[in-house]
Structure 1
Amino acid sequence: MSSREDFEQLRLQEQQEQVALELELQRNRTISMHSHPKLSEYYTHMTAFLSLAIFIAALLTILNISIYLTTVSRLRRHLNKPLRIPSIMMVSLYPIISVAALVTILVPYSWFMCHTVMHVMFMIGGPVFRTLLFRYVDSEQNYLKETSGEPVTLATPPCCCCCLCLPMVVPTKAKLCISRYMVWQMPFWQGSIMLIMNILYYRDRDLYRQVVFFFIPFIIMSIVLGAWSLQITVRMITKLRGDYQLRKKMFCLQLVVMLCKLQYLILYEQLNSFKLGGEYPINHTIHKQTIINILILVEMVLVSMLAQSAYRTPIQVQIDESNQN
């Protein structure tokens, strides 16, 4: 009887060891599927797909930079200095995002840092765009003089549904100051969060996975407040400068968040439903990131062309010269 019990215990122990071994193999397979290879391993095992992707990414980046240089050349000819610098800064967002996407393909391990650069472009673009809006009317004080207390609606995207009950507001210096703070909080608030997330990601990946979801509500709230303030400001300035394509310029800025943040997060999860690539080092994650960043590069070329069209107005220098004549 004792020998039979010993045999059962031994058989049970072997089953447990086999289950543990299978779990360990599955865990290692999952790690190899989603981990980033070293740079030497990445280029040693380079495939035809990745070589073609790098070639296409480089061409798209050069095309985006060419569009940018053409746009900057035109802005330098047609705008005076107060509008020239913020306008050039706004159209500079898209080639920087393209370079970040290209670096992600060339150095896959840097994807989170490059994704942060894409995110930072909206944080910087928001305050710069607000500054540009009020320079179209010279200043905030001049806007208050020109409008003479005309009320402004607060029911604008992305808070148009929840703000229907709010009354129209007459702009004052204090309310414009609140609007300014709503936009300027983005680089400080989100910049601090993204810095912490980068440190956690590259120092302690397990801790990053545990706390990342706690940061997401704060990032979303910050983006919503900043975008809401910018939309209100665009409506205010459009009443005075309706021929400056301000909504089109705002849409170009919003595409940074929609394509580089929202689309990135959605595709990053959706592509996990498909088996891409093979085993480590050219695994599923490498193919997934490459596909997403190639898509972003194509979209940034289109957005750069849209921004080039949006910033055709105003043609300030020619107007000033004709007025002098």
Structure 2
Amino acid sequence: MNSIEEFERIRQQEQEQQFELELQLQRNRTMSKHAHPTLSEYYTHMTAFVSLAIFIAALLTILNICIYLTTVSRLRRHLNKPLMIPSILMVSMYPVISVAALVTILVPYSWFMCHTAMHVMFMMGGPVFRTLLFRYVDSEQNYIKETSGQAVELTTPPCCCCCSCLPLVVPTQTKLCISRYMVWQMPFWQGSIMLVMNVLYYRDINLYHEVMLFFVPFLITSIVMGIWSLQITVRMITKLRGDYQLRKKMFCLQLVVMLCKLQYLFLYEQLNSFNLGGEYPINHTVYKQTIINILILVEMVLVSMMAQSAYRIPVQVQVDESNRN
């Protein structure tokens, strides 16, 4: 009887050990599927797909930089300094994003820092764009003087539904100051959050996955507030400078957060449904990030061309010269 019990106990221990071994193997396969390779492993086991992706990414980045240089050359010829500097800063976002996408393909482990760099472009672009809008009308004080207390609607995207009950607002210096703070909170608020998330990701990735969702509501609230204020400002300035393609310029700015943030996060999860790549080191994660960043590079070329078209207006220097003549 004792021998039978001993045999059952040994068999149960063997089954438990076998189960733990299978569980460990499954965990290792999952980790190898989603782990980032080191730089030496990445370039030692380079595949044809990754090599072709690097070549295409480099070409797209060079193309984006060429479009940017052409746009900057035109802005320097056609704009005076008060409008030229913020306009150049606005069109500079797209080559920087392209370089970040290229670096992600070249160094896969740096993807989160490069993703943060893309996010920073939108955070800093919001305040610069607001500054540019009011420089089109010289200043906030001059806008109030030109409009003579004309009321402004607050029902603009992305808050057009939930704010439909809000009354019309007459712009004053205090209200414009509140609008300014709604935009300027983005680089400070979101910058602090992204800094903390980067530290967590590269120091303790398990803790990062545990607390990541707690930061999402704060990021979304900050982005919505900033975009809402910018949309209201665009509507205000369009009444005075309707021929400056302000909505098109605003759309180019919004595409940064739509393509580099929302699309990035959506595809990052959706592509997990497909079995991409092979075994570690050129695994599923490498293929997934490569596909996403190639797509972003193509889109940034198109957005750069759209921004080049949007910033053709105004042609300030030629108008000033004709007025002097």
Bin the TM-score by the shorter chain. over 0.9
Q: CA deviation at 1:221?
A: 0.3
**Aligned partner of 2:7: which letter?**
F
User: How many residues matched?
Assistant: 325
Look up the SS of the partner of 2:243 in the other structure: helix
Alignment partner, residue 34 of structure 2 = 34
Alignment partner, residue 170 of structure 1 = 170
Alignment partner, residue 214 of structure 1 = 214
Alignment partner, residue 132 of structure 2 = 132
Alignment partner, residue 25 of structure 1 = 25
Alignment partner, residue 287 of structure 1 = 287
Superimposed CA distance per residue, residues 6-30 of structure 1 (whole angstroms, 9 cap, x where no aligned partner):
1111111111111100000000000
- 2:266 and 2:19 mapped to 1: Cα distance? 34
Look up the SS of the partner of 2:279 in the other structure: coil
Unaligned runs of 5+ in 2: none
Alignment partner, residue 83 of structure 2 = 83
Q: CA deviation at 1:255?
A: 0.1
| Structure 2 counterparts to residues 245-256 of structure 1, below 5 A | 245-256=245-256
Superimposed CA distance per residue, residues 228-266 of structure 1 (whole angstroms, 9 cap, x where no aligned partner):
000000000000000000000000000000000000000
Q: CA deviation at 1:283?
A: 0.2
- 1:199 and 1:118 mapped to 2: Cα distance? 17
| Structure 2 counterparts to residues 1-325 of structure 1, below 5 A | 1-325=1-325
Superimposed CA distance per residue, residues 279-306 of structure 1 (whole angstroms, 9 cap, x where no aligned partner):
1000000000000000000000000000
- 1:269 and 1:202 mapped to 2: Cα distance? 20
Q: CA deviation at 1:2?
A: 1.0
Superimposed CA distance per residue, residues 267-324 of structure 1 (whole angstroms, 9 cap, x where no aligned partner):
0000000000011000000000000000000000000000000000000000011111
Tell me which moved more, 7-16 or 101-110.
7-16
Look up the SS of the partner of 1:280 in the other structure: coil
- 2:21 and 2:263 mapped to 1: Cα distance? 38
Superimposed CA distance per residue, residues 125-180 of structure 1 (whole angstroms, 9 cap, x where no aligned partner):
00000000000000000000000000000000000000000001000000000000
Q: CA deviation at 1:113?
A: 0.1
- 1:4 and 1:33 mapped to 2: Cα distance? 43
- 1:321 and 1:171 mapped to 2: Cα distance? 34
Give the TM-score taking structure 2 as reference length: 1.00
- 2:161 and 2:21 mapped to 1: Cα distance? 54
Q: CA deviation at 1:117?
A: 0.1
**Aligned partner of 1:28: which letter?**
N
Unaligned runs of 5+ in 1: none
- 2:291 and 2:189 mapped to 1: Cα distance? 31
Once superposed, which parts of structure 1, at least 4 consecutive aligned residues long, lie more than 6 Å away?
Answer: none
